[in-house]
Structure formats: C-alpha cells, structure tokens
Chains A and B, each alone.
Chain A
Amino acid sequence: MAPAASVSRLLGAGVCAGPLRPRLLQSATPGRARPSGRTLASAATPAVREPEGSIDLNDRILNEPLKHSDFFNVKELFSVRSLFDARVHLGHKAGCRHRFMEPYIFGSRLDQDIIDLEQTAAHLRLALNFTAHVAYRKGIILFVGRNRQFSHLIETTARDCGEYAHTRYFKGGLLTNAPLLLGPKVRLPDLIIFLHTLNNVFEPHVAVRDAAKMQIPTVGIVDTNCNPCLITYPVPGNDDSPPSVHLFCRLFQTIINRAKQKRRHMEALYQLQGQEEPGARGLTRPPWEDLGHSWR
C-alpha cells in the first residue's frame, strides 16, 4: 500500500523536518552556560568559555537517537488489537464526515464511519516517535483539548509527565501575541498535541491555525469530522469515547516519560565515558540494549 510504504520510509529516515531542527536545537541546550536571553530577571551573565569536550558531548547526545529508526521502541506500546479494544476505530455518522478524512476511513457500517486501524497504527507510530524525540531534546509539549469530559484527565496526564496542558478557553493571541499575554521573553511550546481538534462548537480549534502560523509542529487525533490539513502528524482515531482518550493519554504519557528517562541515562553514560576516556567514540548500538533494561 502506497501510504504504508511512504510512512515506513519516513520512519526509517528518523525524525524532524529540516527547518524545524535549528529552532529545536537552540531551545534544547540548557547544559550550556551561554546567556539564553530567555529570562528577564537574570542580568547580563558573563560569557563562560565552554570546554570543547562538553560541546562535543552534547552533540553526540543529541545525534545518537537520530541514527536509529526506532530509538524509543514505540512499536511495542500498542497493537492494532489494542486500538480496536479501545474503540479507536469508531467514527461519527456518515453525514458528519469531513472530505479530507476520506483516505483514512476504512468503510461505513450502518451509516457509522469506521477508521482504518492499519493507517492509524502507522500514523500513531510516527507521532509517538516524534513526540519522544521532542521530549528527549527537552522541548516544551502542550496538550490541548476542548472536550469538557476529558479536561481533567488531560491536565492530569500533562502534570504527570512534567509537561503542560491547555484545556480551557483559548484566548485569541496566546501563541501569536505571546510576549504581550504571557510575558516579554516567554518560550513557546515546541510541540502541541491535540487530543480534540475541534472546540465546543464543532469548529477547528484556533490553536491548529496559530501553531501553523508560529511554525510549531502539531500532533493531533483527528476524528472523521475533523480537518487534518494543518496538523503535522495527524492520527486518525476516535476522540469521543472514554477508553480511546484514556488509551491515547496513556500512550503519550508513557512515551514522554520514557524519552526523558532515556535522556537522563544518555547524559549519565556520556559523562561517565567522558571521564574515563576523553575522546571516546559514541555507541553504535542503541544504549537501552546495553543497559539490559526491559521496556516490556
């Protein structure tokens, strides 16, 4: 199948698109002592000359995951069967169908659309892999959803993985006019995850368009009545049933925690290596195989 082949090609190449990488790299290097210019309170910090070794180390930590196709072992988090059990394949009625969702729909039974779970699985793997890479590089992840039934769950999920959530009324210029609304030198999110792409009046959420304007990549769970156009990593799936939303929240939480843990491991490992042998070569195999951890 054409979509599956292209998807596997993307998976093999690793992650982020070109123009996004410089911004991510710039934002995800807190280890460096150079004045980040992000905070208002800190006065001009004296420029500290970094030893050449640690810059090298940092680059190696960041480049290591890009050499493997599935560095965070996303495949084993879910299966098509588990998606089916969580009722992810159930869409809305055929009358609510959005034209651009037709490629993702498997068929329709008794006037209710059924989403193609093979495609969902492929897209979800891409999305989770991307999320993991962003979390690994210490990016800010914002969970957005406007369904009041799951607002509490989404906020709890975000808090538990140390990221941010916004399931309330979205003020107009929050992303586009952030310096005025949030503070002079605020750092915008590096990834926005939509658990519900529509707002309470069944219109596309403003954040979808604003994120595209501010060049923030988005991951979104698109139901059969949603518009997947502006979302970077759409995941066709059910966003109305409790088991489905619970599953997605669990998946995102697990993968983010896993990526952060991996980052801590890598930093510890490379620091140890740097102390033992200055100028040691990086690992060729994924480190989690070495450490003997079982991700099952």
Chain B
Amino acid sequence: MAAPCVFWGAAVSYRLFLGSRVSLALRQGVWKAAAAELQILRLRHTTGVTAKKNVAALKRETYTVDFIKKQIEEFNIGKRHLANMMGEDPETFTQEDIDRAIAYLFPSGLFEKQARPIMKHPEQIFPKQRAIQWGEDGRPFHFLFYTGKQSYYSLMHEAYGKLLDVEKRQNQLQAKGLFSEKTKTKDLIGSRWLIKEELEEMLVEKLSDQDYAQFIRLLERLLTVECSAEEEEFVQRFRRSVTVQSRKQLIEPLQYDGQGMAFSTSEGKRKSAKAEAIVYEHGSGRIKVNGIDYLLYFPVTQDREQLMFPFHFLDRLGKHDVTCTVSGGGRSSQAGAIRLAMAKALCSFVTEEEVEWMRQAGLLTADPRVRERKKPGQEGARRKFTWKKR
C-alpha cells in the first residue's frame, strides 16, 4: 500500500494546479525535468549573433509540444491512481468523478471557485499556442504566413471565395433564365454571431475590432444572397445559439380544498423576511397575516397599501381572500415579501396577458437589494468619517 501512495504523491502532485495558472513552486518542479532542454535552447540563443533579443516572445510562456505530451501522460497516470484511491474503476473514471474526488480529498473553504485545487486535462489548463509555423527547410506551412494573421486572412479568403461561387452560380442561372427571386427566411432568431473573443480563441490569433467587423460584414453579405447547404454550414459555424430566456412566469397549479374552493399557494422573499401566501378564488378581500387581520398586523398605511397593490392593479380588490404566514425582517420587508407571494399566487387565476402586465409592472420580480456591509475606516457602508482639515 505504501508504494502506490508514494507514487501518487509524485505523479498527482504535478497535476494539482491552484487555479487556472501554473503556480510558481510547481512550475519550478515541473521545469526541472525540462531544464536540460532549456539550457540547450539558451546556449543556442547566445551563439546566434543575428537573432535580436526577442522581448515580445519572452513575455509569453512557451510550452513545447513534448512538454505538453508529457503533461498529458502524467495526467492520465494520475487519473488512474486517483480512481484506485477512491476505489473506483480506472477505465470508466470521468472528469466529473475526478472533480468530486478532488473536492472530497482537498476540501477548500475559498470563495473563489478558480482558486480551489483542480485536476483537469492539460489542454484545458495550458493556453493554446501555435506550433512552429515552418518546416525543416524554413518554408512556412501556410500560404498566407507572411501576412502575419494567417488564420484570419485565410478565413476571409475562404468566405470571399464562397461569395464568388454563389454569384457565379446566380449569373449562370440568370443566363439560362432559371433565376428566381425567392428569398427564404433563415432561422436567425435564437442565434447570435460569434463575439470577437470567441473568434480570437477559435483562430488562436489576436484580432482588431475592424478585422472582426469586416469579417461579420462579409458573413452577413453571404447570408443575404441565396446560398447552398455548404455555404449555410460554413456560416452556421460562426453562429452560437442564444438560450432564449423564458419570459413565462412559472404559474402555480390550482389546488382545491375540502369545500371545493380553488386556491393557490406561493412564496416570497424581501431582505430577510420570508412569506407564504394562500390566495382563495372567491372571497371578500380579507387578508390574514399569521392569524391576525392585516389592519392590526400592519398599523402603518404604507404596508397595507403594499399588500393591496396586486389586487388594485388587476381590479380584483374585494374578490379574493388571502391567508399568509411571514417571519423575519422588519415591517416594510415583511410587507414586501407578502406582496410578492400574493402576486405570484394570483398568476394562477389570471390571463397570460395580465401576467405579462404584472411582470412589466415589477410585481413578479423579487427585490434583490440587501443591506450593504459596513467597511472599516468608514462610519457606515458609504458614509465616511467627517473630514477634518487640520
């Protein structure tokens, strides 16, 4: 048992990175293995007279392909050890299992999720870098290498080529007289163009705003003309789906009590007050809070007005009965909590349009404001101590 544990210490410890960046101590440990290679590289640099001191290249950490490969091997070995330790099958040990195992073995109380210990595949940890762009004889691999931004310009070249193909095809059809001016509506709703950062990540290249704008303009032009499936697929590569936020308010289902009266229950919160309201379909406008009539529970008119507002908004002032329980907070926050609970419960008795009106009026949104903490060196959250000139 001792031997595997020791081995684990050597192999897995390399893989535990605190946060997304490689910590200094670990980096030193890991680089010891590649130190010999480094020394060779350094020697070669000093003997080259013509090579200028490459300040820009030194700023970025360059990881060689062999280094990354070694990291991947170590990660795989460490994964198997971890699976053995947790008593699970090494063959079917997924990334979620790894995350759970690490969270179990190294519990961390840090708030910042990215500062906790993680163990992920090296490709997700080390930033993507470009391999050397030319072969043994010095000839670059890509035909647009000398432009500086080869991936971006090759993308522009490809897109423009597709546009030319489409136009040529349309000209041919027009010459034959088969051209028809049908514009098919494309499903563009629910998707958005790639943002500049995503495009940069895709191309592993820095772009300027004008470059990005030019590219999007070219793609939009491609969309306006009628294009075939191939071109559609090309354009779709640069669109991302947008999760349409459901504007539907979650409507509580109606329940029926012993007498056959329909009612609906809902909860609401405001600051530290929590409330639960039960709204009956037919009633005379009585509101009971914690068993006490709201006139007695809330002596202040403002609080009672808050309670009445949802009904007043829907012109149903004397038509519903409400029973609610509330705890925590002060008088104003309790009133706000009950108001939210009542509004949510009312949704089940009301049409979709009226629900949308309530949503737009702000009746169905929980108030996110909480008390801001007092900071040291200040008298309150924002108030500073009196400034004295001398």
Q: How far is the CA of A30 from the CA of B120 in the complex (A)?
A: 41
- As a 0/1 sequence over residues 152 to 171 of chain A, the CB contacts with chain B under 8 angstroms (1 = contact) are 10011011001111101001
Contact A187 B146 (CB under 8 A): no
Contact A165 B138 (CB under 8 A): no
* CB of B65, distance to nearest CB on chain A (Å): 7
Q: How far is the CA of A156 from the CA of B52 in the complex (A)?
A: 34
Q: Which residues of B contact A30 (CB under 8 A)?
A: 136-137
Q: Which residues of B contact A42 (CB under 8 A)?
A: 136
- As a 0/1 sequence over residues 65 to 76 of chain B, the CB contacts with chain A under 8 angstroms (1 = contact) are 100000000000
Q: Decide yes or no whether A138 CB sits under 8 A from chain B.
A: yes
B23-79, CB < 8 A from A: 37, 40-41, 44, 48, 51-52, 54, 56-57, 64-65
Q: Which residues of A contact B37 (CB under 8 A)?
A: 43
* CB of A218, distance to nearest CB on chain B (Å): 14
Residue of B nearest to A184 (CB): B54
Q: Decide yes or no whether A230 CB sits under 8 A from chain B.
A: no
Q: Which residues of B contact A187 (CB under 8 A)?
A: 134, 138-140
Contact A164 B140 (CB under 8 A): yes
Which one, A43, A155, A163, A164, contacts B40 given CB within 8 A? A43
A154-202, CB < 8 A from B: 155-156, 158-159, 162-166, 168, 171, 174, 179-187, 189
Q: Decide yes or no whether A142 CB sits under 8 A from chain B.
A: yes
Contact A140 B157 (CB under 8 A): no
- The verdict on A179 contacting B132 (CB below 8 Å), with A36-B137, A166-B147 known, is no
* CB of A54, distance to nearest CB on chain B (Å): 16
Which one, A44, A174, A181, contacts B44 given CB within 8 A? A44
- The verdict on A174 contacting B138 (CB below 8 Å), with A43-B37, A180-B52 known, is no
Contact A36 B132 (CB under 8 A): no
Per the CB 8 Å criterion, the residue count for chain B at the interface is: 34
- The verdict on A182 contacting B148 (CB below 8 Å), with A44-B40, A44-B44, A152-B164 known, is yes
Contact B139 A37 (CB under 8 A): no
- The verdict on A164 contacting B137 (CB below 8 Å), with A41-B65, A184-B54 known, is no
- As a 0/1 sequence over residues 265 to 284 of chain B, the CB contacts with chain A under 8 angstroms (1 = contact) are 00000000000000000000
Which one, A43, A156, A186, contacts B134 given CB within 8 A? A186
Q: Decide yes or no whether A39 CB sits under 8 A from chain B.
A: yes
Residue of B nearest to A27 (CB): B138
Contact B138 A163 (CB under 8 A): no
Residue of A nearest to B161 (CB): A152
Which one, A36, A156, A168, contacts B138 given CB within 8 A? A36
Q: Decide yes or no whether A38 CB sits under 8 A from chain B.
A: yes
- As a 0/1 sequence over residues 114 to 157 of chain A, the CB contacts with chain B under 8 angstroms (1 = contact) are 00000000000000000000000010101000000000100110
Q: Which residues of A contact B146 (CB under 8 A)?
A: 142, 164-166, 174, 182, 189
Q: How far is the CA of A166 from the CA of B276 in the complex (A)?
A: 70
* CB of B365, distance to nearest CB on chain A (Å): 49
* CB of B110, distance to nearest CB on chain A (Å): 38
- The verdict on A38 contacting B138 (CB below 8 Å), with A152-B160, A179-B54, A183-B133 known, is yes
Q: Decide yes or no whether A40 CB sits under 8 A from chain B.
A: yes
Q: Which residues of A contact B137 (CB under 8 A)?
A: 30, 36, 38, 138
Q: Which residues of B contact A181 (CB under 8 A)?
A: 148
- The verdict on A39 contacting B136 (CB below 8 Å), with A152-B160, A179-B52 known, is yes
Q: Decide yes or no whether B143 CB sits under 8 A from chain A.
A: yes
Q: Decide yes or no whether B153 CB sits under 8 A from chain A.
A: yes
Q: How far is the CA of A27 from the CA of B163 in the complex (A)?
A: 39
* CB of A188, distance to nearest CB on chain B (Å): 9
Per the CB 8 Å criterion, the residue count for chain A at the interface is: 37
Q: How far is the CA of A38 from the CA of B138 in the complex (A)?
A: 6
| SS class, residues of chain A in contact with chain B | loop
Q: How far is the CA of A80 from the CA of B147 in the complex (A)?
A: 35
Q: How far is the CA of A178 from the CA of B146 in the complex (A)?
A: 9
Q: Decide yes or no whether B300 CB sits under 8 A from chain A.
A: no
Contact B139 A171 (CB under 8 A): no
Q: How far is the CA of A90 from the CA of B56 in the complex (A)?
A: 47
Q: How far is the CA of A47 from the CA of B132 in the complex (A)?
A: 22
Task: Determine which residue in B64, B132, B149 has the highest number of CB atoms from chain A within 10 A of its CB, and name it.
Answer: B132
Q: Which residues of B contact A183 (CB under 8 A)?
A: 132-134
Q: Decide yes or no whether B309 CB sits under 8 A from chain A.
A: no
* CB of B280, distance to nearest CB on chain A (Å): 72
Q: How far is the CA of A44 from the CA of B64 in the complex (A)?
A: 15
- As a 0/1 sequence over residues 142 to 180 of chain B, the CB contacts with chain A under 8 angstroms (1 = contact) are 011111110001000100110010000000000000000
Contact A39 B134 (CB under 8 A): yes
Which one, B51, B143, B149, contacts A164 given CB within 8 A? B143
Residue of B nearest to A155 (CB): B157
Q: How far is the CA of A202 from the CA of B139 in the complex (A)?
A: 32
Q: Which residues of B contact A159 (CB under 8 A)?
A: 143
Contact A179 B157 (CB under 8 A): no
B354-372, CB < 8 A from A: none
Q: How far is the CA of A260 from the CA of B138 in the complex (A)?
A: 17
Q: Which residues of A contact B143 (CB under 8 A)?
A: 155, 158-159, 162-165
Q: How far is the CA of A166 from the CA of B48 in the complex (A)?
A: 29
Contact B144 A166 (CB under 8 A): yes
Q: How far is the CA of A40 from the CA of B58 in the complex (A)?
A: 14
Contact B138 A180 (CB under 8 A): no
Residue of B nearest to A168 (CB): B147
Q: Which residues of A contact B145 (CB under 8 A)?
A: 164, 182
Q: Which residues of A contact B149 (CB under 8 A)?
A: 168
The 6 A-B pairs at the shortest CB distance, nearest first, are namely: A187-B138, A30-B137, A38-B138, A159-B143, A41-B132, A166-B146
Q: List 18 A-B contacts (CB under 8 A).
A: A37-B48, A39-B136, A41-B64, A41-B65, A42-B136, A44-B44, A138-B137, A138-B139, A164-B143, A165-B146, A166-B147, A174-B146, A179-B52, A179-B54, A183-B133, A184-B51, A186-B138, A186-B140
Q: List 10 additional A-B contacts (Cβ < 8 Å) besides A138-B137, A140-B140, A183-B134.
A: A36-B137, A39-B136, A42-B136, A140-B139, A152-B157, A156-B161, A174-B148, A181-B148, A183-B133, A187-B134
